[in-house]
Structure 1
Amino acid sequence: MTGIDFHFNTPDKLGYACRLLRKAVGAHGARVVVVADAELLQALDLALWSFAPAEFIAHCRSDGDPAQLARSPVVLAERGDAELPHHQVLVNLGFDVPGGFERFERLIDVVSGDEADRQAGRRRWRHYADRGYAIRRHDFAESGRHV
């Protein structure tokens, strides 16, 4: 069963996602798919190019060349149920439950302090809990952690 982690009250969702990807890929060697709407994916794509000049995070879009997709540790996708090269970690930056999340070993759901994002996060939490998934919570307002 997919392990689910909720990271909520993140002050800067985009910056947090960059730090999370740096840690997942660099320290843990994870292969990650990030799901969000097209606008946020575009912003993340740009941020990953300039996030840390000495620490480029290799990534590509899910509609890219299949050979590049297979080699890339980070794939940016609008849908989790798309044809994807790996199913280790799924990071959800979107408002909806990502389709196909159950195919992944782990789901990390990131929620900012924005009220609309928090409400959507609560709906996703209920969706997972109603289906029997154990959810680990990581409240960054309480811990002060920033990955």
Structure 2
Amino acid sequence: MTRVDFHSNVPDKLAYASRLVRKAYMAGNKVVVLTADSEQLAALDAAMWTISPTDFLPHVAAGDPLAVHTPIVLTDNMDVELPHHDILVNLSQLPPVNYAQFQRVFEIVAMDEHDAQAGRQRFLHYRKAGMEPTHFVAGKT
């Protein structure tokens, strides 16, 4: 069964997602990141190139021929063929259609009320599907 983890109260979704992806990649996982749209995808791509002077996060877009060989795949469309099914990081406002094919899903929820409300709806969606999502509030110890 897929494990779903919510990370809420996130001040900067792209920076947070980049750090989360770095941690998952360093642990040997393959990661798919779902963005809300192509604009957010481009911004995430740029953020991953500048995460730190010493880290390299090998990533490509889902349609790239190298996607099958690249541990981090970025997409704004879950209807495409995805090469990996370890971890899905969701930055979009909706629950991913094919989330159950992943071992683990991270839902990243920003601090603003619009994103928080969308996050609550996704949380309820998973609950109705029989999942028991966990919840982590960023910035709290």
Fold shared by both chains (TM-score > 0.5):
yes
Does the 8 Å contact 1:32/1:74 carry over to 2?
Answer: yes
| Paired residue total | 140
How much has 1:5 moved relative to structure 2? 0.3
CA–CA separation in structure 1 for the residues paired with 2:133 and 2:22: 23
Does the 8 Å contact 1:60/1:76 carry over to 2?
Answer: yes
Aligned counterpart, 1:9: 9
Amino acid at match of 2:100: E
Aligned counterpart, 1:21: 21
Aligned counterpart, 1:34: 33
How much has 1:50 moved relative to structure 2? 1.4
CA–CA separation in structure 2 for the residues paired with 1:52 and 1:11: 18
Amino acid at match of 1:71: H
Within-5 A mapping of 1:83-102: 83-102=81-100
CA–CA separation in structure 1 for the residues paired with 2:80 and 2:97: 8
How much has 1:70 moved relative to structure 2? 1.2
CA–CA separation in structure 2 for the residues paired with 1:108 and 1:23: 13
CA–CA separation in structure 1 for the residues paired with 2:45 and 2:132: 31
Does the 8 Å contact 1:91/1:110 carry over to 2?
Answer: yes
Give ranges in structure 2 of 5+ residues lacking alignment.
none
Give ranges in structure 1 of 5+ residues lacking alignment.
none
Cα distance change of structure 1 residues 50 and 141 upon mapping to structure 2, 3 Å threshold:
closer
- 1:55-91 Cα distance to aligned partner (Å, 9 max, x none): 01000001111xx111111000112342011111000
Runs of 4+ in 1 over 4 A off after TM superposition: none
- 1:103-138 Cα distance to aligned partner (Å, 9 max, x none): 111100000101110010001000000111011111
CA–CA separation in structure 2 for the residues paired with 1:40 and 1:85: 21
> TM-score normalised to the size of structure 2?
0.95
Within-5 A mapping of 1:53-132: 53-65=53-65, 68-132=66-130
Does the 8 Å contact 1:80/1:101 carry over to 2?
Answer: no
State, as a whole percentage, how many aligned pairs show the same letter.
43
Amino acid at match of 2:56: F
Amino acid at match of 1:82: V
Give the 3-state SS of the residue equivalent to 1:45 in structure 2: helix
Give the 3-state SS of the residue equivalent to 1:84 in structure 2: coil
Give the 3-state SS of the residue equivalent to 1:137 in structure 2: strand
